[in-house]
Amino acid sequence: MNPLLTKIIVIVAAVAIVVPATYLLASQYTSSQSEANPFSYVPLHSEVVAEAHLNSTAIYLFVSNGSAGAVLPFTINEIELFANATYANSSSPLQITPYTSYMSQTVYSVSNFSISSLGSSGFTLNNSILAIVSQSLPGNNSTLFAANAGTAGMVIGNLGAVKDSISSAGSGNTFSSVATSYLDGTSNYSFYVKPKNLSSVNYITGNISDGHSNVYVSLSGNTSLGSFHFVKNGTYNVTVSSKPGSLMVTVTGNYTLSELVGYVTQYLGKVGA
Amino acid sequence: MAGRGRFLTVFTHYFTNYYRSRSFYVMLILILLISSLMTYLSFRYSNNLPSFLGGTQFQNLPVSEKENVFAFLWAFILLDVPVFASVFFGSPAVSSEIENKTSYHIFSLPIGRFTLLGGKYLAAFAVTLVVTSIYIAFEAAVLGIEFHAFPFPRFYISYGLLILFILSLTSLTFLISSIFSKNLYAYITVFIIYFLVFNVVEILLQLLYSYNAFFLLSNASSIVQRVFINVSTSNFSSAGSITPAGIHEVLTSSFVMLLYTVIGFVAALFVFERREVH
């Protein structure tokens, strides 16, 4: 065969493979990143989203349409393995059974599951994180629902939250697109709240890191809310920087997530925001 | 002689050369030693899996999960053995012809250089595959005896990915071999690129930017192991989960290896085509 023709055939064949392969590589890489991103399973229009990091473990909590859920870094299969080992001789064994199918994905019902028992099971879940999840999800002995969340782990919570999570992941309408704007991934705890009953507040974000906390309130109008003080067990430092349209509160002291959100919303209520 | 006949002749000639070479016997002895050791360790420590995994929740692993863990441990070797085999068979592919002056005779034969390199590439790939398949055969036998449940789908997927890994690695070694005129340089360069440059880039990107260097061959090849359990043994940020890699990760790594195969081989062809005999 003519050497020039051979070269042309080789180049054409190479281009015919390389171009579509590069395109498919890019799309598959994007999908794999999305599949592994826990925020891809948090609905975009959630009222509350919280991210907690401790000892290399991260969990993600959300409230969507009044229904609470959590994205945990374990698969349902692993939770079942754990159950086999821990609940084998229990009088009320853990039960994970297929409940329904939603958008081609199996939703499981999870009975007799105490999330706090995960802490003693060998999973690397810090007790503080367990406390947050326990407080956020329905009571220990009520039925929870769960579904696998790609390679990110699983989503567990109320049925509504699990379904919202699946549908948002399917449609791509997820919190992953805005997570870095609202949450600080370097903090121990970081939260985003979109209050429904405070008309002049767009959203509240904040983070708690080793005794240093920040709360930022985005106001919908040019309202100036002035300054305020927290009182909790003695002295602490509060810095308030207020300007029309926003309010920044920096607190030096140990506050829990619920205390911080409670104080701010209480204050906003007092000033009639 | 027709083109296909010439190609087959070149392939057969080099394949015979390869399996008669000392490199082949060194790799054969090495792979038999490793396979025997892994077989012994598998039977000896099969009951110690929960402590290896580090969690009490793994005490009662079902058979399918145990099989995954075993295959994961066996696949660890498959990340390095093909590198040594490809370096032994691929690195001297072109440079040896120049260094030993055999290129005087070969280049004057009425065979196109594309046919020459293509036949030699397939021969190097085939002999590497033979060596690694011996290890796979040991693994399959151990899994079959231990679990009475062989074969299982992920094993075949891993084997398919291993074949793609060998193809891509052979392309890379042929490209480097076609650049150099001395075997030693080709050997050292492949080792430096694969074990040093790739690893340094991967570690730096991971530590400084928390970025997973998915485009590096050393990273993509880890899918051979991660298809069982998605934990990279060369990555700091791996979580303690026994979940297999997802389909998107498998495809991402497959396309990376495919690109290395095609680009590496075509680049090697064009460099080889322009080589002069000095």
pLDDT at B263: 95
pLDDT at residue A235 in the model: 43
Question: Among B255, B261, B269, which would you mutate to test the A interface (most chain A Cβ atoms within 10 Å of its Cβ)?
Answer: B255
Chain A residues whose beta carbon lies within 8 Å of the beta carbon of residue B259: 18, 21-22, 25
B3, A85: Cβ pair inside 8 Å? no
Residues of chain B neighbouring A36 (CB-CB closer than 8 A): 246, 249
- pLDDT, residue B127, reads 94
Q: CA-CA distance, A88 to A208, in Å (whole number)?
A: 39
Q: Collect all residues of chain B within an 8 Å Cβ-Cβ radius of residue A81.
A: 57-58, 60-62, 65
Contact A38, A127 (CB under 8 A): no
CA distance A135 to chain B (A): 24
- Of A11, A17, A29, nearest to B252 by CB-CB distance is A29
Of B90, B265, B247, B270, the C-alpha closest to B171 is B265
A219-228, B91-100, B188-197: least confident range: A219-228
Distance from CA of A42 to the nearest CA of B (A): 19
Rounded mean pLDDT of chain B? Answer: 84
**Which of A13-22, B21-30, B51-60, B138-147 comes out lowest in average pLDDT?**
B51-60
pLDDT of A40 above 80: yes
With an 8 Å Cβ cutoff, are B241 and A29 in contact? Answer: no
- What's the first-to-final CA gap in chain B, in angstroms? 29
Residues 242-271 of A with CB under 8 A from B: none
- The pLDDT of residue A95 is above 90: no
Provide the token pair at A214. Answer: 């920040």
Show Cβ contacts of residue B275 under 8 Å, excluding neighbours closer than 6 positions.
B94, B98, B103, B178
Mutation choice for B interface testing from A75, A78, A124 by most B CBs within 10 A: A78
Which residue of chain B is at minimal alpha-carbon distance from A117? B57
The confidence band for B238, taking pLDDT boundaries of 50, 70 and 90, is very low
Q: What is the mean pLDDT of residues B65-72?
A: 83
Report the pLDDT value the prediction gives residue A61, as an integer from 0 to 100: 85
Among B57, B230, B248, beta carbon nearest to A121: B57
Select the more confidently predicted residue: A230 or A5.
Answer: A5
Per-residue pLDDT of B137-159, as tens digits, reads 999 999 888 887 666 788 999 99
Contact B263 A14 (CB under 8 A): yes
Give the three-state DSSP class for A211. coil
Closest by Cβ to B262, choosing from A14, A85, A151 = A14
Confidence of residue A126 (pLDDT cuts 50, 70, 90): very low
Q: Which of A259, A260, A154 is nearest to A216 (CA)?
A: A260
Position A143 scores a pLDDT of 78
Compare all CA atoms of chain A with the CA of B66 and give the residue at the minimum distance.
A81
Our CA-based measurement puts residue B24 at a distance from the nearest CA of chain A, in whole angstroms, of: 31
Cα(A140)–Cα(B239) distance, integer angstroms: 26
CA–CA separation, A118 and A144 (whole Å): 15
Q: Where are the domains of chain B?
A: 3-273
Query: What sign has the CA pseudo-torsion B165, B170, B172, B173?
Result: positive
Residues of A in contact with B269 (CB under 8 A): 10
Tokens read off for B48:
């110690």
Most B CBs within 10 A among A12, A29, A80, hence the mutation to make, goes to A29
**For residue A2, what pLDDT is reported?**
75
Please determine, for residue A264, whether its predicted confidence score (pLDDT) is greater than 80: no
Question: How confident is the model at residue A257, as a pLDDT?
Answer: 55
More confident residue, B130 or A142: B130
Provide, rounded to the nearest whole percent, the portion of chain A with pLDDT above 70: 60
A82 touches chain B (CB under 8 A): yes
Quick check: A78 and B57 CB within 8 A? yes
DSSP state of A243: E
Parse chain A into domains and list their residue ranges. 40-180, 193-270
Does residue B255 have a pLDDT over 80? yes
Give residue A66's pLDDT: 79
* Model confidence pLDDT, tens digit, residues A63-91: 888 788 888 888 887 777 766 666 556 66
Pick A29's closest partner by Cβ from B65, B214, B258.
B214
Enumerate residues 6+ apart whose C-beta is below 8 A from A258: A135
Q: Cα distance from B209 to chain A (closest Cα, Å)? A: 13
Strand partners, A213: A208, A251
Across chain B, how many H-helices and E-strands are there? 14, 0
Average pLDDT over residues A11-39: 89
